[in-house]
A = this chain, B = another copy of it.
Amino acid sequence: MSKTNKKTPGRPRSAKSHQAILRATLELLGEVGFDTMSIEAISARAGVGKTTIYRRYSSKEELVADAIESIRQDVVIPDTGNLWSDIDELIENAAQISLSPLGRQTVAMIISSASSNSQFAQIYWTKYLQPRREAFAVVIERAKMRNEMQTDLDSGLIFDSMSGIMLYALIFPPQTESWSEYVRRALHLLFQGALSQSQSE
């Protein structure tokens, strides 16, 4: 029912144009942000007619949602055998994604829309954060089994706190150290209480 079934007559939609549109959308989103970005600018950069975009998407929201969707990365579940090594991997992973212009603008979009309509925030939560939150639960579970953590802690709450700290560091970048180092230090503070008493360092 997918590619093999080419029953529609007429010229098919160009996959090349489609890719170009998504690419241009992401680039502009990162450069100027959602509000400032115009359909005209997207079509110009993609080298396609405005019509081609309007034929595919009926709103900018729809287009951007699809563009972001198209680059969704696989969820990583680190398993180094040690909690802090796992966390370091997560930090590096988060750094790559969220320190990019696109990452910043995505976050900005979510927040500004969060007050009036919660569309983007909902989508982002469900499609991006939720799976990672669940993957993180596995990491925590392993740490508990290795006796690195207290067993009664809420992994979801830990994930949220970690995310919050990272988000804050994204907006107000540390002056005297790198983002990763700063986040690592903050998470260490967070986990001090989460660690078993035997694991004081």
Binding site for B on A (CB under 8 A): 30-33, 35-36, 101, 104-105, 107-112, 114-116, 121, 125, 129, 153-154, 157-158, 160-161, 163-172, 185-186, 189-195, 197
Contacts and interface: CB of A to CB of B under 8 A. Distances in A.
Contact of A172 (B105, B129, B170): B129
Contacts of A115: 30, 33, 101, 104-105, 108
A172 B172 CA distance: 19
* Majority DSSP secondary structure for residues of A touching B: helix
19 contacts: A31-B116, A35-B36, A108-B111, A108-B114, A111-B111, A112-B112, A121-B172, A125-B172, A129-B172, A160-B169, A161-B168, A163-B168, A164-B165, A164-B166, A164-B168, A164-B169, A189-B193, A192-B192, A192-B193
Copies of this chain, tallied across the complex: 2
Given A186-B160, A186-B161, A167 B169 contact: no
Contacts of A170: 114
A79 to B, nearest CB: 24
Given A129-B172, A164-B166, A167-B167, A157 B112 contact: no
